Amino acid sequence: MQYRTLGNTGLKVSEIGFGGEWMDGTLEDTLAVVRACEDAGINILDCWMPDPTRRSNLGDALQELGSRDRWIIQGHLGSTWQNEQYVRDRDLDQVKPAFEDLLARFHTDYMDLGMIHYIDKVDEFHQIMAGPFYDYVRELHAAGTIRHVGLSTHNPAVARLAVESSDIEMILFSVNPAFDMMPASENLDDVLGEHVTFDRDALDGVNPDRAELYALAEETGTGITVMKGYAGGRLLDASASPFGVALAPVQCIHYALTRPAVASIMVGYTTPEHVAEAVAYETADDAARDYAAVLAGAPRHAYYGQCTYCGHCAPCPVGIDIPTVNKFYDLAAMQPSVPDSVREHYRALGVTAGACIACHACESRCPFGVKVADKMSQAARLFGC
Question: Contact positions toward ligand SF4, by CB under 6 A?
Answer: 292, 307-313, 316-318, 320, 322-323, 326, 356-362, 366, 368, 370, 372-373, 376
Output 106 or 368, the one with its CB closest to ligand SF4: 368
Cβ of residue 225: shortest distance to ligand SF4, in angstroms?
Answer: 24
CA dihedral 168, 169, 174, 176 (to 10 degrees): 140
The answer to whether the CB of 90 falls within 8 A of the CB of 78 is yes
Cβ of residue 179: shortest distance to ligand SF4, in angstroms?
Answer: 19
Q: Within 13 A of 246's CA, how many CA atoms are on the CB side?
A: 9
Cβ of residue 369: shortest distance to ligand SF4, in angstroms?
Answer: 8
Output 143 or 357, the one with its CB closest to ligand SF4: 357
Cβ of residue 99: shortest distance to ligand SF4, in angstroms?
Answer: 43
CA-CA-CA-CA torsion sign (120, 78, 231, 328): positive
For 24, other C-beta atoms within 10 Å of its C-beta total: 14
Cβ of residue 328: shortest distance to ligand SF4, in angstroms?
Answer: 13
Output 98 or 356, the one with its CB closest to ligand SF4: 356
Q: SS3 of 221, please?
A: coil
Provide DSSP, 56-116. Answer: HHHHHHHHHHT-GGG-EEEEEESEEEETTEEEE---HHHHHHHHHHHHHHTT-S-EEEEEE
Cβ of residue 353: shortest distance to ligand SF4, in angstroms?
Answer: 8
- Residue type at 248 in one-letter notation: A
Output 373 or 382, the one with its CB closest to ligand SF4: 373
CA angle 325/171/83 to nearest 5° reads 150
Q: SS3 of 70, please?
A: helix
The answer to whether the CB of 98 falls within 8 A of the CB of 106 is no
CA angle 57/60/1 to nearest 5° reads 85
Output 16 or 362, the one with its CB closest to ligand SF4: 362
Output 149 or 320, the one with its CB closest to ligand SF4: 320
Output 172 or 248, the one with its CB closest to ligand SF4: 248
Among 147, 116, 113, 143, which Cα is nearest to 129's? 116
Cβ of residue 358: shortest distance to ligand SF4, in angstroms?
Answer: 5
